[in-house]
Each structure stands twice: as structure tokens, then as C-alpha cells.
A and B are shown apart, each in its own frame.
Chain A
Amino acid sequence: MTKKLFFTMVILLFTVLKTFAIDDEFYEVLDNEIKREFAALQKVDSNLYFLEYRIESAKAYYINASFGYITNCFENKNAHCTIAMRYGNHEFDNTHLIKGEQQKTFTRSFLLPVNSNEGIQQQLWRNVSQLYEQVKSDYTQLKNKLKAQQKDIHNDFSKETTYNYFEPLDDIEFSQAEQQKWKNRLEKYSEPFKESDKITVGNTGLVYWFKRMYYLNSDGSRIVQNSRNTSFSINGSIKSDDGNDTPFYKNFIAQSINDLPNDEALMEASVMVKDMLLKLNEAPVADPYAGPVIMAPEAAGVFFHEIFGHRLEGHRLKDENDGNTFKTMLNKNVLPKSFSIYFDPTIQFFNDTFLNGYYLYDDEGVKARRVDIVENGTLKTFLMNRTPVPGLSQSNGHGRASAGRSTVSRQSNMFIESNKPVLEDKLKSIMLKECKKQKKDYGYYVKSVSGGFTNGGRYTPNAFNVTPTEVYRVYVDGRPDELVRGVNFIGTPLAMFSEIAAAGNTKDIFNGFCGAESGWVPVATVSPSIYIKKVETQRKALKFAQPIILPAPQAINE
């Protein structure tokens, strides 16, 4: 019993040391400066109630190859600082949203000259001083405007627990020899695209970065985290005889470069992309269609992220210009009862694969946590940052932004679950049965999706558009599945969610980077296959173009 307690104490002591042992000169300068600046401002103006520094000290390597040769190779190092300031109080401050107007900017972003303490101090001082003048003036204007309209009853900024967390430096090494090895590999992986004159894009790319992220605020939070990421992409495009371009991609994301698939697997992936381009070139252009569709797990992940996930981002509920699809749907059914969805940024791996939406503290210094969004089909909450919305006054650790942007609520790792999973083959037979019922010759099986967009505003149709890259017709009469090209999925979200009917029994991961108003953030979705009773498709916009006139030059040499 005593031993167990001692062991527990040792663990506790170690944790405390890990959390508070700070040996980082850069951090010391930031810590001293934020204390000095906030104290100086507060001394003369107590309305200034919050100051925040967010710094990404990043080192990134980029290598790109095309058709068997390196096109680009460089590295970049910098320390990007974003400061945020709030004037007034938590109930009403300079960020307050006035009906019909854009939110006032409350951040500034700039580079810090690393290894010069004076330079860092000067930049912080200059920018904090200028931002102070701006937020003070914005606050006065807002206050005057507010007299003319009813104040939103919800606070502008939530009060949160402060955290102290410090990870020791865990830099990446990417030696010249290692870089050369990857250059050779990237050249090799892009070589297969030379096979056809019609392939106009045959690129492979590697991005490997390390970020040391510092978060400090005037409430007392001090967080220093490491983040590393590797993404490897294969990107091809073929020009068909009708002159149109058809792209196909494959991406791999891992935490460390050593966690990427091995040489053989990456080569196979590259050949697969090339083969798919050649098949797509021969594939017929799909006609407009409305009927049953199955989405493979990865495609379903993108689909859910785009059309469902963005509408769960809580800060949007405050925006009068947003469509607010789910504003009145709390505690109501939004999906079939068998479906549940949660977000959990603290989960690092799924089936040994790294999840790109992993983090421990968000970009507002709030501890990351699991958020059960949909339980048995019922919407339970939203993803929250420190912007309170009706019924939700606290952050749940989803305030995110890329360097230089203001934080808003964003997605992390999304998990889609069904308590009535169906065998994949069974899912297909359900779809074919529905096809017969709807008098369709075929249903669609979507294997991969390149991305898409969703309009959430009020002044444009509240619609989505998703672009699949690998789509098959699955025929009712038993003919082999047929690859088609030029399909776009379109629709309105609520109508679409009501058509989701079942989920498969195997899950897969979509890892990617999501772009929105707060910049690009890493995200992941773990999803099963999804069967949707009715989806509408339209033909992809086709450019009037002509095929390539002369054969590729290397064909002449051979």
C-alpha cells in the first residue's frame, strides 16, 4: 500500500516537473513581456481586460517532384506571433458582433526576430501598443452603436480555467543525406506519370514540419506544446480526348516522417494513381442523377466534415449572416437514431494511424476534451471556443486558428458511429433494393472525394458541393461496376441528413487540412461507409478545351 502511494507520488512529481520545469529563453522573454505590458496598460486603463500571445516557431521542409524530376526543394524557419486583445469586460467587449456588420479585428500578427531578445521585446511592444489604440477606439464605436439596438444577451468572452503545461523541446532533424534520400524517392514516385502523353500533372510532394507553439495570456495560462507533421501527396491529372482535365490524388499524413508508409507502399500508391488516371480517361462522363449512393469510409469522412461538421462550429450561431442550420435543433433529431458523433482531439491514433486533428490544448489555451455532439441521432451540443452562444457559455477546447488568424470554433478528430452497423456487402444489397424501388438502373459507390465546399450564409443557397474523384455505377442487373468521371454531389444539408439510412461495419480515416475563416487547421474523421437513400449529382463544369497537339517530348526520344 505504502509502495503504491510512493509510486503514485513519484509519478505526480514527474508530472509536475514536466509541467513547470521551463528552460526556454524564448519563453522567458515572452513571459516577462506579457506581464510587463499587461500591467502597464491595466495601470492606466482597467477596461483592457485580456491580452494573449500565440507564437508558432516553425521549421518546415518542402520537396516537390514532377514526372521524374525535382521541381522545388526548400526549407523555411520563422516565429509567427499573433496577439489578441479584449477591451471592456467578458459581457461586452470590442469583439461584440453588431447585427449586419463584420466583427472588428482584435488580433495582429507579425514575425518575431528569433535569437534577439531586444528584437522580440520591441516587436511585441510596438504591436501591442498599436492594437491597444485600435481596440479602445473600436470599443467606443461599438458602445455608441449599441445604444441604438438591443444588446445580445450572451457574453462576448467566456471565463475559463487557466492552465500551465510545458513540453520539453522535441525538434526534428532532417539531415542533408535524409533530404537527398527523399528527393530520390519523390523523383522515383513521380516517374510512372511519364507513361502517357495525356497525363499533364504528375506530381509528388513532401512537407515535413515541426512547430513549437507558445500560448500565454494575461489570465495566467502558460502552454508550450510541440507539434510535428508530415504529409506526402501524389497528385495527377489527365487531359481526355474531349480536352477536359480529370484529376486524381492520394495523400498520406503522419506525425513523423518515419511513420509514412514504406518505399514499396508509396511506389504502389503512385502507380495506383497513374493507373486510375488512365482508367478515368476511358471512363464515361456521368449524367445528372438523383438516387441511392454508398460512400466508402474515407469519402464519408470528407462528406461529414464538409456538410455536417462545419455546421456544428458554435461561433457561427452568433453570426446573423450565417444560415444557422442547427440553431434550433438542440436536443432534436438530426440523424438516424442509430448514429452518434463525437469529436475528440486528445486521441492520437486510430488503428495505429495518426489522427491529424490531435492536440492537447487548443489555440485559446483551453484543455482539449471529448465532445459528444450527436447521441443516438439527437444533437446535444456544438463545438465551442471562448465565444459563448445561446445555451452554451463555456469553451470545450475547440478554439483553433492557423498562425496570423483569429481563433474561432473548428473541428478536430470527428468520430462517426453507428450502433447498427451493417456488413459492407449487405449495404450494397440494401442500396440495390432501393434502386429498384426508385426505378434506377444503378446506384453510385463513391470511393474517394477530393474535397468540396459548403455555403453556410443566408444570402447564398445554404447548399454543399462535394467533388468525388473515384465513383462507380453499381448496376441493379448485376453488370460489373463501372467507373465514371465528371460527377459533383450537390444538395441542401437538412434534406441530405434525412436521407442517411445506414452505416457499414468497417471504419477508415480521412486525414486532412481544413480551410476556413481562421485559416488551415489539421483535422481527421473516422467514419464507416454511409448509405444515403437519395443524393443529387450534377455534371462537373467542363471547360471548352482542346487536347494536347504534339506528343510528349520524351516519346520522341524513345
Chain B
Amino acid sequence: MIRNKISFILIFILLVSTVINAQYSETIMKAMNDELARNKEDLVFKDFEKPFFIAYSLFDLKLNRYSSSLGGVYQFTNEKRKQGYARVMIGDYKLTDENFQDQTNRYQHNDGSIALPYEDNYDGIRRHFWLATNNVYKNASESYRNKNAALKQQNMSIDELPAPDFTQEKPREYIIKEQPLQKSNIDLGELSQLLSAEFKAYSDIVESFVNIIETDMYRYYLNTEGTKIAVPEQRIHFEIVASTYNKSNEVVSEGLYFDAQDKDHLLPIDSLKNYLHTFAGKLLKMAKLDNWEDSYSGPVLFENQAIYRLLLYRSFVKGNGFIASREPLIKTKNNGVLLANNNTLEKRMDKRVASKNVFIYDIPCVKNYKGIDLFGYYAIDYQGVIPVDTLPLVDSGVLRSLLTDRIPIKTIQKSNGHCRTSNNNGQIFKGIGPGNVFFKCSDNKSDKELRSKLCELADDEGLDYAMVIRPAVKGSLLSPIEYFKVDLQTGEETQVYGVNTSKIGIQSLKDVVAASNQEEVLNVYHNYHYGNRQYAETPASFIYPDILLLEDVELTGNNKPIKKNPPIIPNPLKK
């Protein structure tokens, strides 16, 4: 009897000490389904065409933001809300109202809909989608008519378009009703304060903060083809940012950025503190260096996340990267119609885009690699398409495919299941993004051989030194990058500061010489809009050799900065 009582108490304690995540809601699903069915059946206005495709998305979100500095609280906010979108298409799979730009169709989605309810309110959710569908339908109808009129005016047939407007896909049902309970109930607000207080040890760091953003949501997606999706998605994002004065008395700011799937996947506090202290120490050291004023063109050895930050990140972007971008039909000011001629990588399909020893695959269905859970794993994409098991992007240096969604391009007329959820500080969107990217180089060498090859290549070029680029903090995170000159004779490294890397990009894949046979796994929220970190990040994993040697990389120094005066007022934290 006593034993039973103890068991009961233990179960109770276990239950109350676990964290309740966002829950699947049958009410949400039913409300979306009922409203979708009603609109599919009845939505038509006067002599306008009936929609042939309607899709609803809803994100049931809990968003907590914690921002601290030196142990004090800047701002803590806890938000719970729902966000929803309606997509309505007129026409058919061959020709829809989309992929067309004129003055009337800029706001296709969610135009003028009412706010969604905070709780799972059946009527409220239906009301939102009722008005959103109504408004998007009207805009889509107008756009469809304008698009047809524009084609007619230009004597252009549908066959002249690069591809059908929308792919036909099999309807799928993928509903996860339960998600594992989290064991950790760590207080993220306290954690941000605790970590930020560690900067008290550095009086030369003149500003610092620790931001933690926790997103916990259930994503629902339904369309009139019969696809139904409900999946949980979680993210804990860390930003540790610090500033100090450099030798010219300019403020230098750098950051450490990393993510965890949920509280149970957080690193132990001591590891987080270690990261922070390594980062702070490296930042202060970096700021004491003179500005590099040289320029360099020759072999460079990339290490760890520097491979992602300077090479792979810049290769998985919209436009001239591995992310497909449909060229829309544009109605110009003088009423002419033309197909946009964007500079996309598609034009180099089946051509060499990398060295012969380079292989790049996206394999989203891999859940775990060498004992590490991968961020880039997903079973079904945002639009209900099951991703291609193994998608070769580059094979022996030749471009074989791009990441696509249901908007086809000329060379790839099927979705390969890469429509992903992207999170912009709690605002959720969809976009084409990578899953698990495997970058391989068939020429493998040891660390020692690679360093020796680096010096040999530099010597052949008649250079005085070679260059090595590596992250300031190693680990599955984004850290500031450090640059080193390597003495060709002794191999001795000298750190330099202020290196401009803007010439490195997807074209640098053609310069791959060799790589180590050790792999690194980077779990990251990848931003496919290059240059704007805050915009649309999608969970991805990049698996690449931990050292990569490139033959010809251009690096430039910055102009000598104007020396500023140090602050007149003494730093209050300097005892």
C-alpha cells in the first residue's frame, strides 16, 4: 500500500516536472478542414473562375524571448499566438494566377484576414480562413485574368512558358498527435541572466547581451487535393553578442549563434559558459590586432565551420545558388510581357560548377548521423511532398539538380520536397531550403599533408605566405572567423584582422584541391537570403570535411581606419 502511494507520488512528480509542449488540436484540424471543404465546394464570385487549389497553413505558436546583459534583464516576453495563411489558385496546374508580376498581385496571401484566436476556438479559426480565402480569391481571380490578357496581348502560348505553373503531387496524410515530453524544465530566462553575468569578468567588453528565443509550435497544413499535415516544430536559439574597442578605438561587435531542438538537447551550462569565455577571450585578442592591409590570391586552408560560413552558406542561397528560383512572367510598364531573365544556377545544369572531386547531396530522411541528431531531417515537406531520398546536387563537380518546391523550373518539373518552414524571430514563412547536406571531396589527405600541400601551392605561386581560416570557437555553432598567415618555411601562424572575404562564393567550389577524411556535423538554422541573418531561417544540417584546401582564393585587407579618440569618461566597470 505504502509502495503504491510512493509510486503514485513519483509518477505525479515526474508528470508535473516535465514540460508540456505545444499540443496537437483536433479542433484546429476540424475547423481548417470544414472551412476548406466549404470553400472548395461553394467559393465562386459571379462570372469569375472557381479556384482549383486552396491550401491553409496554421502555426500554433508559443514564443518566449529572454534578453539579458551583465545578469540584468533587458526584456522578457512570453507570447502565445496563432498565425495562418490561405493560398488560393485559379486556373489549372499548367497555368495559374501565380508566377506573374504586375501592379495588382503583390499581396497574394493572407490579405486583410482577421486575427486568429489565442485558444483553439473552432468558430474563430473558421472565421479567419473564411475572410482570408475570400480576399486571396479575389486577388487571385484578378491576377489570373490579367495574366491571360497579357499572354494574349503578346501572342504568347502557354507552351512558351518555361514549365507548368504548379506540380501535381500525390495527396499525403502525416499527422503526429503526440510528441515526447521534455524532461528538462530549465528556466531559459534564468539561463540568459546567468550566462550574461559571465561577461562581468571582462571589463574591456563594453557591451554584451545574451538572447534566447524559444519557439514551440504545431504546424498544420491542409489542401484541397487531400493533403493533411500536423507536425510539432521546436527551436531554442541562442545569441551571445559582445563588443569591444579595437586599436583604432572603433567598436567591434561579434556574436556566437547556436540552436537546440528543445530543452532536452541543450548543452550543459558549463559547456555554454566555456563557449562564452572562449568567445570573449578570442574577441579581446582579435581587437588588439593591427588591421591587415595586404591582399592575397592563392591557396587557403578552411577549417571547421569556416567551410560552412564562407563557402557552403553562400552556395545555398536563392538565385545563384543551389536553391531553385522560378523566373516569373512580368508585365512591364509599357504593357509588354517578358520572362524574367534572372541569373540562376539552373542555366549551368549538367555543367561543371565544382572541382571533379566534389560531391554534394541532400539527404533529408537521415535522422541521425554518427550519433548526432540532425536538424535537417524531415519526413514530409511544408507542402506535403515526401522529399527525394538522396538528391545529388553536384556529382563529380557537375551540377545535377537544385532544391525545388511545387513551383517547377524548366529543368526540374517535379518538386523534390524542399519546401520548408522558416522562422524569422517568431514570424513563420515557407521557402525552399536544404535538409541534410553532405559535402564530400574524393581527394582525402591527413591534416599534416593538407598543411604541407598548402605551403607547397603557395610556394609554387611565389607567395610569401599562405592563409588559414578557422572559427574562433569550435563546435556546432556559428562563431566569429579568424584569419592566419602561415610561414611557408616554419609553418608558424600569425593571426591577422580585418580580412575581406567577399570574393568567396559558389564559384570557389571549382578550386577544391583536397580535404581531410574527418567529418564535422553542423546543425544550423540556414538563412537562404544571403546577407540578411534575420530573414527566414530553416533548420538544416551540413556535413563536411573538417579541413578543406582551396587552390585560388582572393582575400583583401581593409583600408587603414581613422583613429578615433578613446572615451573620455572612464569605463565604470574598470576597477
**Chain A residues within CB distance 8 Å of chain B:** 33, 36-37, 40-41, 44-45, 64, 66-78, 111-123, 125-126, 128-129, 132-133, 194, 200-201, 203, 546, 548-550, 552-554, 556-557
Contact = CB atoms under 8 A, between A and B. Distances in A.
The 8 closest A-B pairs by CB, nearest first: A116-B72, A113-B72, A119-B70, A553-B126, A129-B567, A71-B115, A69-B117, A119-B72
Contacts of A69: 117-119, 121, 123-124
B573 A122 contact: yes
Given A553-B126, A554-B127, A556-B38, A125 B70 contact: no
A111 B74 contact: yes
A119 to B, nearest CB: 4
A66 B70 contact: no
A122 B68 CA distance: 13
14 contacts: A40-B570, A41-B568, A71-B81, A74-B77, A112-B74, A113-B68, A113-B73, A113-B196, A114-B72, A115-B72, A125-B571, A132-B568, A203-B115, A552-B130
Given A72-B115, A113-B69, A553-B34, A33 B76 contact: no
Contact of B569 (A70, A128, A201): A128
Contacts of B124: 66-69, 71
Contacts of A201: 114
Contact of B123 (A40, A67, A115): A67
Contacts of A132: 568-569
A44 B71 contact: no
B44 interface: yes
Nearest to B207: A126
A119 B72 CA distance: 7
Contacts of B130: 550, 552-553
B74 A78 contact: yes
Given A112-B74, A116-B73, A550-B38, 12 more contacts: A71-B116, A78-B74, A112-B72, A113-B69, A114-B72, A116-B70, A119-B72, A125-B567, A549-B44, A550-B134, A553-B35, A554-B123
A179 B131 CA distance: 29
Given A36-B572, A71-B117, A550-B42, A115 B73 contact: yes
Contacts of A119: 69-72, 196
Interface residues of B, number: 54
A78 B75 contact: yes
A527 to B, nearest CB: 34
B78 interface: yes
Contact of B118 (A37, A70, A552): A70
Contacts, number: 154
A108 B567 CA distance: 16
B495 interface: no
Contact of B114 (A67, A74, A121, A557): A67
A76 B72 contact: no
B200 interface: yes
Interface in B68-109: 68-81
A549 B114 contact: no
Contacts of B209: 113
B137 A40 contact: no
Contact of A40 (B197, B565, B568): B568
A122 B565 CA distance: 18
Most chain A CB atoms below 10 A, which of B79, B124, B197:
B124
B81 A550 contact: no
B126 A77 contact: no
B45 interface: yes
Interface string B21-32: 000000000000
A546 B45 contact: yes
B563 interface: no
B333 interface: no
Interface of B: 34-35, 38-39, 42-45, 68-81, 112, 114-119, 121, 123-124, 126-127, 130-131, 134, 137-138, 196-197, 200, 206-207, 209, 564-565, 567-573
Contacts of A203: 115
A44 B568 contact: yes
Contacts of B131: 200, 548
A234 to B, nearest CB: 15
Most chain A CB atoms below 10 A, which of B74, B126, B131, B206:
B74
A127 to B, nearest CB: 9
A37 B112 CA distance: 50
B43 A549 contact: yes
B127 A72 contact: no
A549 B140 CA distance: 14
Most chain A CB atoms below 10 A, which of B39, B77, B81, B117:
B117
Contacts of A113: 68-74, 196, 209
Most chain B CB atoms below 10 A, which of A40, A66, A549, A554:
A549
Contact of A76 (B69, B77, B196, B564): B77
B572 A554 contact: no
Nearest to A194: B123
Nearest to B131: A200
Contacts of B567: 125, 129
Most chain B CB atoms below 10 A, which of A44, A111, A553:
A553
A135 B300 CA distance: 45
A76 B65 CA distance: 11
A468 to B, nearest CB: 24
A111 B569 CA distance: 20
A370 B186 CA distance: 54
Contact of A122 (B42, B43, B75, B572): B572
Contacts of B115: 64, 66, 71-72, 203
Contacts of A40: 568-570
Contacts of A76: 75, 77
A33 B572 contact: yes
A214 to B, nearest CB: 16
A116 B77 contact: no
A203 B44 CA distance: 28
A548 B136 CA distance: 12
A76 B35 CA distance: 35
Given A76-B75, A546-B138, A70 B119 contact: yes
B71 A118 contact: yes
Contacts of B126: 553-554
Contacts of B39: 550
A110 B191 CA distance: 23
B68 A74 contact: no
Contacts of A116: 68-73, 197
B499 to A, nearest CB: 26
A75 B77 CA distance: 7
B494 to A, nearest CB: 32
B199 to A, nearest CB: 9
A69 to B, nearest CB: 4
A45 B568 CA distance: 9
A123 B72 CA distance: 12
Contacts of A548: 131, 134
Contacts of B75: 76-78, 111
A557 B112 CA distance: 24
A121 B69 CA distance: 11
Nearest to A42: B568
B140 to A, nearest CB: 13
A68 B125 CA distance: 12
Contact of A550 (B43, B73, B112, B571): B43
A95 B345 CA distance: 52
Contacts of A200: 112, 114, 131
B207 A549 contact: no
Most chain B CB atoms below 10 A, which of A33, A66, A78:
A66
B569 A71 contact: no
A131 B116 CA distance: 43
